[in-house]
């Protein structure tokens, strides 16, 4: 276990293979598919390095965040580096909602043993609201996730309570460079009108950003799917949705499949199986793989 790097150790304890190459970390998020860690860090591995990793580990695909000038598809990372983050940082409407949320909620740090049972209903509610399958809604996986998190110094959970009931929670993982990565943020659908997520994200962001050692928080690497409403929430809460590229590298066989599935076929497949996590992600990857370009895109594409 890599105890000097909490994010790496966490994914290792979850059972993922984690690889180090030229100062970058790669996590096998699916069999033979690597994703770069941490999510906020933009990298540009050389083509020989990519080829070596693909061959050595017999990979099907690699995915990593890169500068806008690099080759890839247009994406984003959501970050907050404002050491003075407070109410004036928020959009006026979000400010009012956050004040209401703080009146309705108590925000506190959570124990992962407690979260095994009490967080699961929020995972299920979030998956149902988003009309998709979620491994977080699987009790066995969620138990494994919480136990791995509890074992790593640098992983923390925070919750917003309304009249003693958990309304929303998030999980933060310490990453290299004195950053935090927020990797889970789920809530109960029936309590969303109480603005628990506003109160939660605001309070926890201030907690981390006021630490003099903190460099920033990443609230997520851009999804392979559409997340317009979520991005809108984060912007109004004072976060920066920063344009970046993401690079997808496919094996020769996947490249051939991508070439054969031209036109709207991947999108149609995704619509036919809207709740299937694997199908949705695969169809999105095929579409975005073909959208990759080199160089800084036109402003209207960012």
Per-residue pLDDT tens over the stretch 21-51? 999 999 999 899 999 999 999 999 999 999 9
Topology annotation, domain 79-243: Aminopeptidase (3.40.630)
Could you give the CA distance from residue 276 to residue 299 in angstroms, rounded to a whole number? 33
pLDDT at 268 (0 to 100): 42
Q: Which ranges of the chain would DSSP assign to H, the alpha helix?
A: 6-13, 47-56, 92-104, 112-118, 120-129, 139-150, 196-209, 228-236, 252-260, 265-272, 277-290
Predicted confidence at residue 262, as pLDDT, reads 58
Peptide bond between residue 39 and the one before it cis (omega within 30 degrees of 0): no
Please give the pLDDT value at position 130. 85
Residue 87 tokens read as: 């109410």
Which phi and psi (to 5°) does residue 140 adopt?
A: -65, -45
Residue ranges covered by each domain of the chain:
79-243, 252-291
Three-state SS for 19?
A: strand
- Spans of the chain below 50 pLDDT: 265-266, 268-276
Mean pLDDT of the chain: 90
What is residue 131's predicted lDDT score, i.e. its pLDDT? Answer: 84
User: Taking the model in full, what pTM does it have?
Assistant: 0.88
């Amino acid at each position: 276990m890599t105890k000097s790097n909490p994010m790496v150790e966490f994914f290792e304890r979850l059972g993922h293979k984690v690889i180090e190459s030229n100062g970058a970390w790669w996590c096998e998020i699916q069999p033979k598919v690597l994703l770069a860690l941490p999510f906020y860090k933009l990298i540009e591995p050389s083509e020989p390095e990519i080829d070596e990793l693909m061959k050595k580990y017999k990979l099907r695909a690699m995915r990593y965040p890169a500068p806008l000038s690099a080759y890839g598809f247009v994406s984003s990372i959501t970050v907050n580096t404002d050491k003075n983050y407070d109410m004036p940082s928020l959009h006026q409407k979000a400010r009012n909602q956050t004040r209401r949320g703080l009146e309705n909620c108590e925000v506190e740090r959570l124990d992962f043993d407690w979260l095994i049972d009490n967080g699961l209903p929020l995972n299920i509610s979030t998956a149902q609201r988003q009309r998709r399958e979620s491994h977080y809604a699987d009790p066995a996986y969620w138990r494994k996730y919480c136990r791995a998190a509890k074992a790593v110094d640098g992983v923390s959970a925070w919750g917003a309570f309304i009249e003693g009931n958990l309304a929303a929670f998030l999980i933060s993982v310490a990453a290299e460079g004195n950053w935090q990565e927020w990797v889970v943020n789920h809530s109960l659908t029936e309590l969303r009108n109480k603005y628990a997520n506003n109160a939660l994200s605001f309070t926890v962001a201030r907690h981390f950003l006021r630490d003099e050692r903190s460099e920033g928080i990443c609230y997520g690497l851009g999804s392979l799917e559409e997340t317009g409403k979520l991005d809108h929430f984060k912007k109004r809460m004072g976060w920066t949705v920063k344009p970046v590229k993401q690079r997808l590298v496919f094996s020769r066989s996947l490249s051939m499949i991508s070439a054969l599935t031209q036109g709207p076929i991947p999108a149609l497949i995704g619509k036919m199986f809207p709740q299937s996590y694997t199908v949705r992600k695969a169809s999105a990857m095929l579409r975005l793989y073909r959208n990759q370009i080199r160089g800084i895109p036109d402003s209207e594409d960012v």
